[in-house]
Structures are given as structure tokens and as C-alpha cells.
A and B are shown apart, each in its own frame.
Chain A
Amino acid sequence: MTVTFLILAVITVAGTAAAMGLRNAVHCVLALTVGFAGVAAIYLQLDAQFVGLTQIMVYVGAVAILAVFAIMMTHTPLPAKPPTYSSFWLLGSVVAAAVFAVLAWAICSSAASTQGLPPEPEVSVQQIGDALMHQFVLPLEIMGLLLTAALIGAVVIAMDRREETK
């Protein structure tokens, strides 16, 4: 557990916690973005460059912008509402603690955590590219096809609406 990891962990946890606690929806998205960036930095610190940079590109560059746009299209900037605490907050926290305990128990008692760290694999971006283009080329193409279909579907929906208003 290095100092870098501690700093990044604090940033990530603080960002995601603020995303849950802040009242203003846009502030929440911005705080969540800090959390995303923290996770990306942890990936980078683990030498997983491809995952880390893709995390920044997709989550900070695209998902955060999408969320922000969605908020602005649907929500007028009204004065912030007082926080609404659920009346089940006690029950909720008990359930959350129980889920955390089960997960922690499963991780701690699993074989992977007792037998020590395996030797670090040297994975370069080139290897990931090779794997995607040779071994996993069919799943990749299917994903591409799906995304293209989704894109065309979005365009079709947008076009239909325009004709109705004419």
C-alpha cells in the first residue's frame, strides 16, 4: 500500500461519496467525474495503460458529458431542494453493511487472497490489440454491429419526430 495509492483512493472515495451527498445534480456529476478520474489513475498506477486511458476517454470524456446533457435537457436549474432522507435509512444501512460484509468475507476467504500475488504479467497495448484483432475478432465485430444498429436507431427516432412536427 503505497502513498500514491492512498492519495488516489482518498480522491476516488471522496469523489463518489460527494456524488451521493451533494444536492445539486450537476455538482453530483462533476464529483462523480472526480471519482472516475481517480479510478483511471489507479489503473494507470497498476501499469494498465489501456484500461486507464480508456476509462478517462469513455467515462470522463463521454459518460460525464452525457449525464450533464441529460440533466440539462430534463431539469431546469431550480433552487436546490432540501435533501430527502429515506425513512428506511437504518434498514438501508444495515443491508449495505451486510452486503459489504459478505463481499469482504468472500474476498478474504478466497484462494486468490491467501496464496499471495501471482507474478505480474507484462501486458502491452500491442498485445491487447493483437488479442482483439485475432482471437476475439468475432465478438468485436458483433459489438461494432450492435453499436452501429443503436446509432442508426437513434438517428431514425430523431428523424421521425421531426417529420411529425412538420
Chain B
Amino acid sequence: MTQALDQIFVLTKQWLLGFVPASAQPICSAILSVVPVLIGFPLLFAITTWLERKGLGRLQNRYGPNRTGPYGLFQPIADAIKSLTKEDIVPLTADHTVHFLAPVLLAAASFLGYAVLPIGRNMVLVNMNAGVLYFFAVGSVVELAVFMAGWSSRSKYSLLGAMRAIAQMISYEVPLVLASIVAIMQAGSLSTVAIVDKQAGYTGIWPHWFVFTPWGVVGFALFMIAATAESNRSPFDLPEGESEIIAGYYIEYSGFKFALFFLGEYLGMFATSGMAITLFLGGWSAPFSFLTWIPSYVWFFAKLLALIAGFIWIRGTLPRLRMDQLMSLAWEFILPMALLNMLDAGIWHFMPAGVLRWLVCTAIVAVPCVLLGQGLKRNKKFQVRTYQFAK
């Protein structure tokens, strides 16, 4: 029974495929796999916008949306209707073709990453040999879409926003990939399915997730920081800093094109969170051995929602970073820590299991982390800032 519930989507697909002739089965199989992803994650996006506004409202001691439906639950529907009926304004001097293509490319590229995410047992669109590489390759297309949006609008604000966004994305792509390498090293494969399989199994009731190792927890933390920066979310939301450059690279977009940017940003956030779950949090596996009767996809989405809650919490808590702080964090702290973490994962691999391994590997990452933090703090002077141009 539990197994049937776990495999219900896979079995339904196979049952549906039985109705089509054999020649049409490959294409029907692809459609039946892709369409749920194309529907499910935008639906999650709609729910997340509501959750985010409610959560931020709670953090800021206000109500959040509460006019449409119970607890404002229909707010996403109202937003969708609003953005669909709004006038689509294109600046007169804008480059019309590129201006139109940018949001399309962004949304399409954001969807591509989901092809290699295992969202449940036997539930992955493509079990690619080089799955993680594919994920980061399609992620880099987003930068191009951001540039197209910023450049084609012919607006200084959007160009500045695009420049900031690309600089930030390129800087944080390095630590993002380096942080994920430890999981690839331990699994010995670039395939997402193999990485999840490597984390299967339990000792007592505890799972063998990579996050429960010294290098895993550091790698996870670095990955999540870099993922926050990659998806341009607070506290790394300089590209769209409202008080500085209004809305960044999508300032000249309105109506549904703006909604597409919004969608692409959230889909990117879900995809990188899903990759973090796959690499460090055991993918779809249950957190305790006695909870394995709950279907695998439920665990995936539970972990995803937990990470989203973390993103919302951080957004409501931390102030925005300055450009130099953003860059120094990436190059002076995250990058050295990621390199050290790779060394740590190697040592962990070759040391015999036991308490000593835990102590040594924890010391290797914890001591430099503290020292590096202290050292970086020493050069900074914390005092009341004097502004040159704004008194």
C-alpha cells in the first residue's frame, strides 16, 4: 500500500501510456512527465508569493494580504488577473525584439533546471550522466536573459541593474559550484540520482545525509548563501534595490512580462533549493527511518517548503548588503572556505571512520572559519558613516 502510494505518479503515467500506440509512446511519455512539472512548480510559485507576503507581514508586525478569500489565500489569483489585464508598455526607444525575448528566455531557462531534479523515487525527468553539470550550465543562461532585459530597455536604471545582477551572478557562481563539489566527490558521480542514492540508508534512526558531516554542513551553508545571491534575493538584492535603482533590470517591464520575471526568479530559487536538497539533504529520502512510509515526493516538497521558509525569514531579517560587502564576502570568505571544504571532504574520505575523523574534520573547517571571520572583521571599521553627497 505505502509502496503504491509512493509510486502513484509513476504507475499512473504507465497506465495512461497503455492507451496510446507504441509508436507514439516516447513523445507521450515525455509530455506526461513534463506537464506536471510545468504546472506544479508555477503553482508552488503562486503559493509561495502568498506565504512570503504573509510571513514578511508577520515578521514586520502587520497583517499581509487578507482581502481576497480566507486569510488572503486567493491573492495569487487576483495578482495573476491583474498582471494579465494590465497594459503591456514597451518604451519607445527600446529594442523591441530583444525586449520581448528576454522574459521568455528567462522563464524558459528557469524551467530547464528541473529536468535533472529527482522529486521522488523514480521521479526524475532525465537521469543524466552529467546531471549536476547540466543544472549549472542551464543556470548560466539566465545571466544572458538578464543582460538582454537590461540592455534592450534603453534605460540607465535597467542597465545598471543588469550590470549589478550579472556581476553578482558571475561572482557567486564560482562558490556555488565549488560548494557543491564536495557532494559530487563523496558520491563519485555527477548524476543527481546517484547522489541521492548514495545518501540512502539509516544508522539507527538517523539518515546518511551529507549535511550530517562537517564538510556537508559547511558545504550546505555556503551553497545556500551562494544560492541566495544567485537568485537575487535579500540580503543580496542589490540588482533590484528599490531605494537605489528602483527595480533593476526589469524596471521597463509591465503586465505579464513583469510577472514572467517574477516567475523566473522564484523558479530559479526553487530549482537551486531543490539542488541543495539533492546534494546535501538526501533528496526525497525521509529524515528518520520510521517515517519512510510517507511518500518520497512529500518529503521533497516538505524540504523545499522548509528552505523557502528559511529564505523568507532571511529576507525579513537581514538588511541589504553594499556592493563592496557583497564582493568581499564572495571572494574573501566564501571562496576560501569552499576550497578548504573540498580538502576537508578529501580527508574525510581517506580517514578511518570514528570519533577522530569527526574531530579532525570539524577542526579543519571550524577553526579557519572563525579565524577568517575575525581577520576580516579586524580590517573593517564599524562607526557612524559619513555620507559625501547626502547629508
Contact = CB atoms under 8 A, between A and B. Distances in A.
Interface stretch (B60-68, B139-147, B262-270, B346-354): B139-147
Nearest to B128: A49
A124 B130 CA distance: 9
Interface string B126-137: 001110011011
Given A30-B98, A61-B143, A49 B129 contact: yes
B166 A49 contact: no
Interface in A37-81: 49-50, 53-54, 56-57, 60-62, 64-65, 68-69, 72, 77
Interface string B11-44: 0000000000000000000000000000000000
Contacts of A50: 130, 133
A53 B137 contact: yes
B98 A125 contact: no
A15 B147 CA distance: 19
A93 interface: no
Contact of A125 (B95, B133, B148, B170): B133
Contact of B140 (A27, A49, A62): A62
A11 interface: no
Contact of B138 (A24, A56, A68): A56
B117 to A, nearest CB: 16
A26 interface: yes
B245 interface: no
B129 A57 contact: no
A61 B136 CA distance: 10
A125 B129 contact: yes
B144 A33 contact: yes
Given A53-B130, A53-B133, A65-B170, A60 B151 contact: no
B151 A49 contact: no
B48 interface: no
Contact of B137 (A26, A27, A57, A64): A57
A126 interface: yes
A56 B148 contact: no
Contacts of B128: 49
A30 B130 CA distance: 26
A65 B166 contact: yes
Contacts of B186: none
B129 A124 contact: yes
A19 to B, nearest CB: 14
Interface string B82-97: 0000000000000100
A62 B140 CA distance: 8
Given A49-B128, A49-B129, A50-B130, A61 B151 contact: no
A54 B137 CA distance: 7
A72 B141 CA distance: 19
Nearest to B154: A77
A12 to B, nearest CB: 17
Nearest to B133: A53
Contacts of A49: 128-130, 133-134
B137 A61 contact: yes
Contact of A56 (B95, B140, B173): B140
Q: Select the residue from A26, A77, A124, A125 with max chain B CB neighbours within 10 A.
A: A125
Given A53-B130, A57-B133, A125 B140 contact: no
A60 B144 contact: yes
B369 interface: no
A164 B102 CA distance: 40
A65 B144 contact: yes
B254 interface: no
B189 interface: yes
B366 to A, nearest CB: 27
Interface of B: 95, 98, 128-130, 133-134, 136-138, 140-141, 143-144, 147-148, 151, 154, 159, 166, 170, 173, 188-190
28 contacts: A26-B151, A27-B98, A30-B144, A49-B129, A49-B134, A50-B133, A53-B130, A53-B133, A56-B141, A57-B133, A57-B136, A57-B140, A61-B140, A61-B143, A61-B144, A61-B173, A65-B144, A65-B147, A65-B166, A65-B170, A68-B147, A69-B166, A72-B151, A77-B154, A124-B129, A125-B133, A126-B129, A126-B189
Given A27-B98, A30-B144, 16 more contacts: A24-B95, A30-B98, A50-B130, A53-B130, A53-B134, A54-B137, A56-B137, A60-B144, A61-B140, A61-B144, A61-B173, A62-B140, A62-B170, A125-B130, A125-B133, A126-B189
